[in-house]
Amino acid sequence: MTSILTNNGAMVALQTLQSINNNLTDAQNQISTGKTIASAKDNSAVWAISKVMESDVAGFNAVSDSLALGEGTVDVALAGVEQISEILNDIKEKVVTATGENVDHTKIGNEITQLTSQVTQIIAAAQFNGTNLLNDSTVDGSNANLTVLSSLDRNAGGSGITAANITVAAQDFTSNLDLSDIDVSDSTNAEASLANIEAHIQTAVNSAATLGAAAARIEDQQEFVTKLSNAMKSGVGALVDTDMEEASARLKALQTQQQLGVQALSIANSAPQALQQLFR
């Protein structure tokens, strides 16, 4: 039955065209934003997961900054210890020379005094952003250890985060590297000072080993955090980013469907006009 009051074909064509237009709008939004899931209404479960992962990525960016700061602090201290070790070896050489009878002990003593002053200056200068691992028993006047934020660990349920740290102990060269026990005023005192300078060298070597291990650990953690952050970014992208090739092909198909839908609606709207032929 054909009716001039109710055009079922036009209603179906209109519904189809509206559906195509809605899909076309979604495809255009996905291409313009670069995301298939841009809000919670697109897919609430996936959107929630992506937001949690994005917050973790932001947290790991802060962790990376903390590790970089810690790495710089330890590297400065390590450079200071390595330089001090070289100076202590020079002092040892002077002490060995002073064990002889036919040497100028006064001049050797003056040289050792200058080297000792250099050690003191290096200890005072080995600071990074106000933190010195060599100058005292504390790294900043109150804390005995340098605490470096190294990771944020989310629990199995995903509802809680625990901060993990790398701890670097202050080496306290102020007390443990007191070179006042080096005496080369004569050969006898010089011989007695050999054991003292050897102990100081061992102190510096042990500190260098401790700081070197901490620096290597921080560097490794920094590399891991960078890889982890990149992997999480890729994971978020896989969840919400638009496949541009697929979206482009879909857009072309929807544009074609839209054109056909408009033609179908036009044909359906013109159908009642055919009734005019019956009354001629």
Backbone angles phi, psi at 205, to 5 degrees: -65, -45
Residue-level pLDDT at 156: 72
Residue-level pLDDT at 220: 95
- H or E stretch at 146: strand 145-154
Ramachandran class of 129: left when φ > 0, alpha when ψ lies in -120 to 50, beta otherwise? left
To the nearest 10°, the Cα dihedral for 7, 11, 13, 16? -170
Task: Tell me if residue 183 falls in helix, strand or coil.
Answer: coil
Residue 154 has pLDDT above 90, yes or no: no
Rounded-to-integer distance, Cα 20 and Cα 257, Å: 7
Following DSSP, what letter does each residue of 83-100 receive, concatenated? HHHHHHHHHHHHHHHHTS
Rounded-to-integer distance, Cα 53 and Cα 177, Å: 48
Task: Tell me if residue 161 falls in helix, strand or coil.
Answer: strand
CB 123 within 8 A of CB 229: no
Residue 197 has pLDDT above 90, yes or no: yes
Say how many C-beta atoms besides its own lie within 10 A of residue 78's C-beta. Answer: 21
- H or E stretch at 202: helix 187-240
Rounded-to-integer distance, Cα 46 and Cα 262, Å: 35
Query: 237: closest CA among 44, 6, 24, 49?
Result: 49
CATH of domain 45-241: 1.20.1330.10
pLDDT tens digits, one per residue of 221-280: 999 999 999 999 999 888 888 888 888 898 899 899 889 888 888 888 877 777 777 676
* Mean pLDDT, residues 168-192: 89
Place of tokens 């032929």: 277
Q: Is 65 exposed, middle or buried (0-12, 13-18, 19+ CB in 10 A)?
A: exposed
Rounded-to-integer distance, Cα 121 and Cα 64, Å: 31
CB 170 within 8 A of CB 123: no
Mean pLDDT of the chain: 88
* Mean pLDDT, residues 136-151: 82
Residue-level pLDDT at 201: 94
Q: How confident is the model at residue 161 (pLDDT cuts 50, 70, 90)?
A: confident
Rounded-to-integer distance, Cα 215 and Cα 84, Å: 18
pTM of the entire structure? Answer: 0.76
* Mean pLDDT, residues 29-41: 84
Give the residue extent of every domain in the chain: 1-34+242-280, 45-241
- Considering only CA atoms, give the Rg of the chain: 38
The least confident of 7-21, 22-36, 130-144, 158-172 is 130-144
Q: How confident is the model at residue 120 (pLDDT cuts 50, 70, 90)?
A: very high
pLDDT tens digits, one per residue of 77-102: 999 999 999 999 999 999 999 998 88
Residue-level pLDDT at 280: 66
Rounded-to-integer distance, Cα 198 and Cα 205, Å: 10
Task: Tell me if residue 81 falls in helix, strand or coil.
Answer: helix
Ramachandran class of 34: left when φ > 0, alpha when ψ lies in -120 to 50, beta otherwise? left
pLDDT tens digits, one per residue of 63-75: 999 999 999 999 9
Residue 158 has pLDDT above 70, yes or no: no
Residue 183 has pLDDT above 70, yes or no: yes
